[in-house]
Structures are given as structure tokens and as C-alpha cells.
């Protein structure tokens, strides 16, 4: 159900307010360019600085525009379990197809705390839950054993893995089997991730390279077709400078600048994020040109 190129949607701003027109336009850009799902209100969507009403609004709009076309995996994570439960219930009521729940940041819960956090969310919704494991941002790393315990619950279906440890794909496959959905959270390693048993990527780069990312994922998932695998490698090489350039400074500042060059969004971000430096702008421009996007 959840595979291929899934975009971690940016949230366009104008004068520090959400730009709904650009947001709707961006969603339709993905629908028409082969993106297989959208994630509103994730980290790339600047969820930490969205108000509660804005958080709900970006989910509502995504559901309305994507209904019957591509899945919506709503970002509903929080370091407050109660808030995560409330956002998750809201996303389900709004019509989201699934929710993406990041491991609680700052609190540094134990593995048992992680289990209980996700279990309570699981017990309060009836739609699929994807664990978002991203130690670089949340400090904690959910163990494979904890993930396996959670997979026994009715709604836990997979993981967005941003550990940057490709061996985790093999370990998680061995422990949970192929039914456990494994989505990469790292564009630069998505090819190897899929080769090891992954089924797609929740992508930052897809914001500005929707068709290329979609074509890449489709080709890389056709593991027994040498021609398509060669195509995946070719596209991956084309996108690699962009994957790297978009993380020279804190995400999503670089990708928002790239989106502004393609008239997909303004480059505006909310404090404490700031617009990227001139040197980084040059690298982003160079990477877009290398990918024939600019």
C-alpha cells in the first residue's frame, strides 16, 4: 500500500503565514508527476513551528486534494504522548490513510517508554501507523526488538528509517519479515536501501524532483530487471548532488530555496530556521542544473 516515491511535503509560507494556494498547487504537482503518496506536517513540513490549527489544516487540505488519487500519511508525532494521540485521532477523522509518528524527541524515553508511547497511539486509532526512527533529530534509536514488539500490535505496519545504517534493513527484515514496510528516510542511500528489501522512500528531494524520484523508485523496485536497475542507477547518479546539497544546511531551508527557483514555493522558513547562505544557494543551483531541473 505504501511504496515508491512518497514526498515529505514542505509547507509553503507567505509573510510567515501558510500559503494555501501554493500548498494545493504543490500537491497537484506531485499527483501529476507520479508521486505515490504525500506526508503533510512532517519535519520537512516544519511541524515543530506549525500551530495546532495549522497542523490540522495541512492534513485536511492534503486529504481533500489527494482523495482517491494517492495516499496521505499524516505526520502526527510529538514528544507529548497525549498530543500525538490527539493529532493521530484527528488525522484519522480527517480521512488520512495512515499516520507517521516520530520517536519522541528531547524526552529520551527508554525502549519500554517508546513501546508504551506507540501502543497508546495504536490503541486510539484504527488506521496504519508508520514508526519514524530518526536518531539524528530525536536522539533516541528504537531497537529492532522494540520495533518487533510493536509490529505485533494491530495498526503498526512499518518504519521510516532515517538511521543511516543500511544494515538495519536486513536486521528488520530478518526479525519482522517482508510484510513489515520499510521506507527509507535518506534520499542519498535509497538505492541500497531498496536493494536490501526496502519498498520506497519518504523523500525530501521529491519536493523539487517529483518525476525523477518517482521514476527512480519505480526502476529500483524492479529488482529482477537489469535494464530498470541500470536506469535506477543512472537517475540516482543524476540526483546525488541534489540529495547532498539539500542537506548542507538544516532541512527544509535548502529544499525551500530550490522550490522557490522552480516556482513551487517561497523560500520562507520559520524561526529558528533561517534562509540558506549564498554559498549554499550556489551549490543548490549547481545540483538542480546537474539534474536538468533548472
* Catalytic residue numbers, as ranges: 132, 160
Indicate the SS3 state at residue 165: coil
Q: Which residue has 524515553 as its cell numbers?
A: 109
What's the chain's Rg over C-alpha atoms? 18
Do 92 and 64 contact (CB within 8 A), yes or no? no
C-alpha pair distances (Å), 180 with each of 2, 94, 147, 148, 288: 11, 25, 10, 9, 34
Residue 198 DSSP code? -
Do 117 and 104 contact (CB within 8 A), yes or no? yes
Indicate the SS3 state at residue 66: helix
Amino acid at each position: 500500500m505504501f511504496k515508491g516515491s512518497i514526498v515529505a511535503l514542505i509547507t509553503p509560507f507567505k509573510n510567515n503565514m501558510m500559503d494555501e494556494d501554493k500548498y494545493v498547487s504543490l500537491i497537484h504537482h506531485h499527483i501529476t508527476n507520479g508521486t505515490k503518496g504525500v506526508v503533510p506536517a512532517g519535519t520537512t513540513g516544519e511541524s515543530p513551528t506549525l500551530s495546532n490549527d495549522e497542523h490540522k489544516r495541512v492534513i485536511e487540505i492534503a486529504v481533500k486534494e489527494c482523495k482517491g488519487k494517492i495516499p496521505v500519511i499524516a505526520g502526527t508525532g510529538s514528544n507529548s504522548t497525549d498530543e500525538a494521540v490527539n493529532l493521530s485521532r484527528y488525522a484519522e477523522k480527517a480521512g488520512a490513510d495512515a499516520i507517521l509518528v516520530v520517536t519522541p524527541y528531547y524526552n529520551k524515553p527508554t525502549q519500554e517508554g517508546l513501546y508504551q508511547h506507540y501502543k497508546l497511539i495504536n490503541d486510539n486509532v484504527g488506521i496504519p501507523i508508520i514508526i519514524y526512527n530518526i536518531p539524528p533529530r530525536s536522539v533516541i534509536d528504537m531497537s529492532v526488538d522494540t520495533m518487533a514488539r510493536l509490529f505485533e500490535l494491530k495498526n503498526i505496519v512499518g518504519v521510516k528509517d532515517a538511521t543511516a545504517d543500511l544494515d538495519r534493513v536486513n536486521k528488520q527484515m530478518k526479525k519482522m519479515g517482508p510484510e513489515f514496510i520499510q521506507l527509507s528516510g535518506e534520499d542519498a542511500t535509497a538505492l541500497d536501501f531498496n536493494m536490501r528489501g526496502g519498498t520506497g522512500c519518504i523523500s525530501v528531494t521529491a519536493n523539487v524532483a517529483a518525476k525523477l524520484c518517482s521514476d527512480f523508485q519505480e526502476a529500483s523496485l524492479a529488482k529482477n530487471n537489469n535494464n530498470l536497475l541500470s536506469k535506477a542507477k543512472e537517475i540516482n547518479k543524476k540526483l546525488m548532488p541534489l540529495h547532498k546539497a539539500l542537506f548542507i544546511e538544516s532541512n527544509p531551508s535548502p529544499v525551500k530555496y530550490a522550490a522557490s527557483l522552480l516556482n513551487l514555493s517561497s523560500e520562507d522558513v520559520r524561526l529558528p530556521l533561517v534562509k540558506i547562505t549564498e554559498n549554499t544557494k550556489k551549490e543548490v543551483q549547481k545540483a538542480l542544473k546537474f539534474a536538468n531541473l533548472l
